Structure 1
């Protein structure tokens, strides 16, 4: 079976603020894609899930931009993220984007403990569905 691999450039922005030291990942190619991690590898791993979630419902994927043409701010760097959409869709199926609100202290705890909140919410809902 042919695998559908999606690869896009992303921008990693390093932060050192009241929430601690972490990296935020965004992509000018994928409007609204935002995720983070305490380390660059963790942030890029989380970006795979964020990228797949954003692309899962988009029948026409955005054209891949050349990151060499982007203007970066201090503390920013580019990287590439690839995700096997075939495997991801087999595991999670079609997704929809939902915004949820959680208490700030719980959000801080999730960041500190490297927890992907979207993944936890999805798994919790599956558990409730099966109950």
Structure 2
């Protein structure tokens, strides 16, 4: 299967108000904003934010970050996202019927439990093994 891998430069802005954290934005992807309490976590979050923003769109051209004017608390990094893998994990959903005990079904309804989300989360945990 051909992998669709994208790479875009991002701006990490360091903040020390209300704690120490980094905000990630990209002039390439208007509206993409995420954060993390370390650079590593911020960049991991940026991968998912980028995929969400780019999913189903024509991918924008990559701007040269050397042309960006940065503030003293900003730095540039690159984020890559494998859209093929992202789609296989988070892409289009399908309807699937499952059988569960009536008592569990009643309890889930009473407690407003999203059974599809619970099943999806459980399957993702099993997938990690």
Compute the TM-score of the two structures, normalised by the length of structure 2.
0.72
Q: Is the 8 A contact 1:6 1:85 kept in 2?
A: yes
Say which SS state the counterpart of residue 52 (structure 1) adopts: helix
SS at match of 1:17: coil
1:1-131 equivalences in 2 (<5 Å): 1-18=1-18, 20-58=19-57, 60-94=58-92, 126-127=117-118
CA offset digits 1:26-85 (Å, max 9, x no partner) = 000000000000000000000000001101121x11100000000001200000000100
Q: Per the alignment, do residues 13 and 56 of structure 1 end up closer, same or farther by CA in structure 2, a change over 3 Å counting? A: same
Q: Is 1:56–1:94's contact at 8 Å kept on the other side of the alignment?
A: no
Cα distance in structure 2, aligned partners of 1:30 and 1:73:
19
Structure 2 unpaired stretches of 5+: 94-113, 122-129
TM-score, structure 1 normalization: 0.71
For residues 116 and 25 of structure 2, the distance between their equivalents in structure 1, rounded to whole angstroms, comes to: 26
Matches of 2:49 and 2:116, distance apart in 1: 18
In structure 2, what is the Cα distance between the partners aligned to 1:16 and 1:42?
16
How many angstroms apart in 2 are the aligned matches of 1:124 and 1:6? 33
- Alpha-carbon separation, structure 2, partners of 1:29 and 1:124: 37
| Alignment coverage as a number of residue pairs | 101
